[in-house]
Structure 1
């Protein structure tokens, strides 16, 4: 194709942010962080390497995901614990907050509810920022490693990718079949994963995560949550995305509940106020 004479002018058009978020209701981060200081441990679960685990997080509690033995990334699904059809919406979270999330950002739920499910209140990797390659941590751009893409690209079956791990954990937790669980598994928050897009071809890339033992990310549960976390078979994702040979480590989830009265000024977010008529 011949480049048009005004190509440079077209490329020079200034971008416009699609969703200015100045008018979004802002979380009371100071209130949440103060409540977290005195919160007591009430539940704990560990996602074994190349496997997944579930934990329930009551509204008004805190979910902390911690790297415990060595650099490891995780794929996180979130559900309304009382209604699996309301789940984490990575695409809208990305549109509102950007390709990667950190302290103060929120994880939004699917239509028709579209409300905050969780707010990030602490992130020990928030120092990382954006590196020289355009990479950053905790992305909402990747989907999850899965056996279907593996079959498509490598021509072989691999059963301990994050999609399958999440399926097994959800099925076991809810006592349902794998076939029943699969439609509920959705695009993830890639916890601790360092990713971006190459500047020449625009391809999604990963690099070794900067996470180290005792690093964590902590969420405030805005509604009752069911969290499902896979310890990715890629380990720190510095070499292979799905592998039986990459060094892998467990990830710990714990739930902490604030002392009575610590959240007296807080109430769970209501469902989105759109009337649902869709022009009819």
Structure 2
């Protein structure tokens, strides 16, 4: 008779937040709205730099690779209230460590509502690789000058955290220091990451992104967004680096055909009010 031990069998895993009751976005309506959309604005984020942009509710925006393999760090805020911002931890818990078409980006408490829905992902084919890596993660934070100083003893001023602070400051009129507390954990767009099997450490590897690839999102509230073109390029070797080969990223904003969205359930702040 074989006796299963705690080491060989162990307790069965249980999903913390079963999401079967989570309201699913109407992807057919989004697809119909995409079919008739019109580009109304665009901007280019230079390598090792950041830019902010606004997306009205009900519009789509794309983050595109245009010249070479490049990853980006994305922050989202309620355009009318910076205290409501993207909640990467809850997004990870409700969906997965890496997000793709059909997943939503959720906002912080107490609002806890979808800020944007991923409407198209040209890297959706990647899935999970042999190392356990995937694309578009919500597990990493962002490269920042404080951790860089902690680990290397040197100062580097083009970390994604710094870039996002400066971009938000420019968009709002705040000083970079006043803007800094609003900068938060990111969606690592195009970045290929996972956890090592032996030590369970966060790893990165060369992104599969190529010119023409894009991640497209549908704004469910009025958004102020900021994107940093990471100083690690495709993050195949390092980040916070002037040695990595880096490229710009483009952002395009689209006005959709409104008819398919006539019945869209625009999300209100979460209804809990028990405090």
TM-score by length of 2: 0.97
- Given candidates 164, 167, 170, the residue that maps to 1:169 is 167
Contact 2:34 2:257 in 1 (8 A): no
Verify: 1:63 aligned to 2:61, yes or no: yes
What displacement does 1:261 show?
Answer: 2.3
CA contact 1:45–1:54 (8 Å) conserved in 2:
no
CA distance in 2, matches of 1:130, 1:267: 32
Partner of 1:103: 101
Give a deviation string over 1:126-182, Cα, whole Å, max 9, x none.
Answer: 000000000000000000000000000000000000000000011011111011100
Structure 2: gaps (5+ residues): none
- 1:193 aligned to which of 191, 194, 198: 191
Q: Hey, what does 1:89 align to over in structure 2? A: 87
What is the rounded CA distance, in whole Å, between the counterparts of 1:242 and 1:129 in structure 2?
27
- Aligned partners of 2:125, 2:103: CA distance in 1, in Å? 15
Instruction: Give the secondary-structure state (helix, strand or coil) at the position aligned to 2:150.
Output: helix
Displacement of 1:63 in angstroms is 0.9
Residue 29 (structure 1) aligns with:
27
In 2, Cα distance between equivalents of 1:261 and 1:166? 35
Q: Distance in 1 between matches of 2:231 and 2:208?
A: 17
Q: Deviations over 1:45-69 (max 9, x none)?
A: 1110000111100000001100000
Q: Is the 8 A contact 1:44 1:55 kept in 2?
A: no
CA distance in 2, matches of 1:259, 1:89: 29
SS at match of 1:8: coil
- Matches for 1:86-235 after TM superposition, within 5 Å: 86-235=84-233
SS in 2 for 1:86: strand
Q: Deviations over 1:72-113 (max 9, x none)?
A: 000000001111000000000000111000000000000000
Q: Secondary structure of the residue that 2:259 maps to in structure 1?
A: coil
2: distance between equivalents of 1:136 and 1:52?
A: 24
> Where does structure 1 lack aligned partners over 5 or more consecutive residues?
none
Distance 1:221 1:58 in 2: 7
